[in-house]
Each structure stands twice: as structure tokens, then as C-alpha cells.
Amino acid sequence: MVNKLSTLAVMFPHQTTTAGVTVRVAVSYLAEQSDPSAGRWFWSYHIRLENGGNKAVQLLSRQWQIVDGRGFVQQVIGDGVVGEMPLIDPGSSFDYVSGCPLTTPSGWMEGSYQMVDEDGDAFDAAIPRFALIGPVA
């Protein structure tokens, strides 16, 4: 039988752990929302935050760096994710899906989540870099 960790590694090929919080990322190119002839490519990404520590943690804000195929950098900073500031108990996880449009057929994203634990200690949980790769023409 395949164990849970190896299954998660296949489903979410990008991952990093900071202070007991593992951030896993799966990305998909969405052809149905893309229009290369109009210079628009679109990806969805599924994030899974797992609290492997022994204290509850809350995600307060996020900071993304999005870089397109020309090297243009866009910074995205904001409160929470998808309208939520989830509280994640020890041994629990939180999942969400969002999207990213680019004007080039490739690029990458990375960033961090600003977190606080139940004792009020703040830390940044790293979001691993992941590639945004569209179809080859």
C-alpha cells in the first residue's frame, strides 16, 4: 500500500516546511481559460497548508512574487487567502485553489504566508517556487 506522504508528494510536487508548517503546491495549466492568440495564459494552483507542529497557527497575510517569461515581476500582498484567515490546529490542514494569468506562456511564482501561533509568535512560512508552463506552440 502506498503511504500518505508519497501520495501527497505525487499530488503536490512542490513543497517546503517552515516552523512545522508544510506548504504544498500543485499547479495546472487551464487551456479553457487561456487564449494564446490574445496573449493570455492561465493557471490554477492548489495550496495545502499542513500544521505539523504542536501549536495552532493562523494565516494572517500573504506575499507573492509572480514573474512572467519576460522577467516582469509582480508583487501581490494582501490579507488572508481567498477571503479567509484560517486557523489550523496541530495535525490539521487547510486547502484552497486560486489562479494566475500571465501575458507570456511561462513564468513562476513563489512567496510566503505571514503566520502567528497560538502563543502570539509570528513567522513567515515559505511558499516554494513553482513553474507556470503553458503548451509549446
Give the tens place of pLDDT for each residue, 83-123: 999 999 999 999 999 999 999 999 999 999 999 999 999 99
Amino acid symbol at 137: A
**Can you list the domains of the chain with their CATH numbers?**
4-133 (2.60.40.1470)
- Give residues with Cβ within 8 angstroms of 101, minimum separation 6: 40, 41, 42
Q: Name the 3-class secondary structure at 28.
A: strand
Q: In angstroms, rounded to a whole number, what is the distance separating the alpha carbons of residues 56 and 44?
A: 28
Quote the pTM value.
0.90
- Residue for grid cell 522577467: 71
Q: In angstroms, rounded to a whole number, what is the distance separating the alpha carbons of residues 38 and 54?
A: 49
**Residue-level pLDDT at 1:** 46
In the predicted structure, residue 4 carries a pLDDT above the cut 90: no
